[in-house]
Structures are given as C-alpha cells and as structure tokens.
Amino acid sequence: MGRFFHQLEEKHIEFIRDQHIFFVASAPENGRINLSPKGIDTFRCLDFSHVAYLDFTGSGNETCAHILENGRLTIMFCSFDKRPNILRLYGKGASVFPGEQKWQELCGLFDDHAGVRQIITMKIESLQTSCGYGVPLYEFKAERQTLEKSALHLGEAGNAQYRFEKNRHSIDGKLIDTPATRKP
C-alpha cells in the first residue's frame, strides 16, 4: 500500500542514489502527456524538498515546454533489482540555463557532460512510495555512451543549432523560447 510524505527522508534519498534510471512526466493544459526515461547519473537531491537533474539536448524539449506553461512535474524511480519499491515525486519544476546565477550554484553538483541543455529543478510538494511488486527484475550493465558521443561530435555550436531547429517547439506546437532554444 502506498504512503504519502511531504518531503524526502534519508531513506528516500538513499533509494534515489541507488537507481540508474528515472522517469519524468509532464503535461500541458491541453495536449500530449510526456513521459521520458533519464539516466547517466544526472539526478541530485538538493535538500529534503528540492531536486534537480541535468537535461541534455535531445529530440524533443517537452518537459521544458510544459513547466513553462504550468510547472507540473512528476518524477518516478523504481527498483529493478534488490527490494521492490517505487518512489514518485510530485511538484513544480523550473528550468535553469547556462549563464543564469542559479546555474552557477547548481552546475558544480554534476560531472561535466557535453550537450547539456538546461538543469531542471523541482520543488517537491509531496511524494509517494508504493510496493513495486509488479516491476520485473533487470540487471544494470552500463550507461549508454551514444548521447555523449553525439553531443561531442556536434560540438557546442552544433548542439545550439540543433536545439534551435528541433527544440524550439513542443510536439503540440507550443513555442519554447528560452536561452537554450534561441538562434545561436
């Protein structure tokens, strides 16, 4: 049976640190719901009520579009090994971009990676744990290197151009006008 909490506890933070994958869900007021898998050791618990993750240049920019519209964000972790458990974080998201003061405060918490588009932060409003008994067992082998290699191949200018061409509009046609998507 699920339990709700108002903020993270140490046991939740430990569980998060042990996971190799997390899922981010967001939705506009009208349009498609987005659900994206994330990994590459990019998630950080800032305190008991705030979290952040590195967001890379990719084929879409839905999370940013949705949090610009309404801020709603859900992040889910689930154990694919050891003890079954699911942890969902519910809250309000924000994007932090290179050059902003908050960027300087946060970027040092992460390893350097090519192709970083923004840091997504979340103020947790509540969280829920549930059993995870129906989640299958999987074994983690390694992080994929494809995204990093692609970003390195494009270089900083190529990533900026890609974001301008491919990340400036959501799949529902909403303009995403941010420092990361403006003309390089």
| pLDDT (average), residues 91-109 | 97
pLDDT over 80 at 152, yes or no: yes
User: Which tokens go with 76?
Assistant: 């889910």
Residue 1: predicted pLDDT: 66
In CATH, which superfamily holds the domain spanning 3-135+143-166?
Electron Transport, Fmn-binding Protein; Chain A (2.30.110.10)
pLDDT digits (tens, 9 = 90+) for 121-132: 999 999 999 999
Residue 82: predicted pLDDT: 84
| pLDDT (average), residues 16-38 | 97
Residue 2: predicted pLDDT: 85
CB 43 within 8 A of CB 53: yes
| pLDDT (average), residues 96-102 | 96
Residue 58: predicted pLDDT: 93
φ, ψ of residue 32 to 5 degrees: the values are: -75, 145
Q: Where are the domains of the chain?
A: 3-135+143-166
pLDDT digits (tens, 9 = 90+) for 42-76: 999 999 999 999 999 999 999 999 999 999 999 99
Residue 158: predicted pLDDT: 96
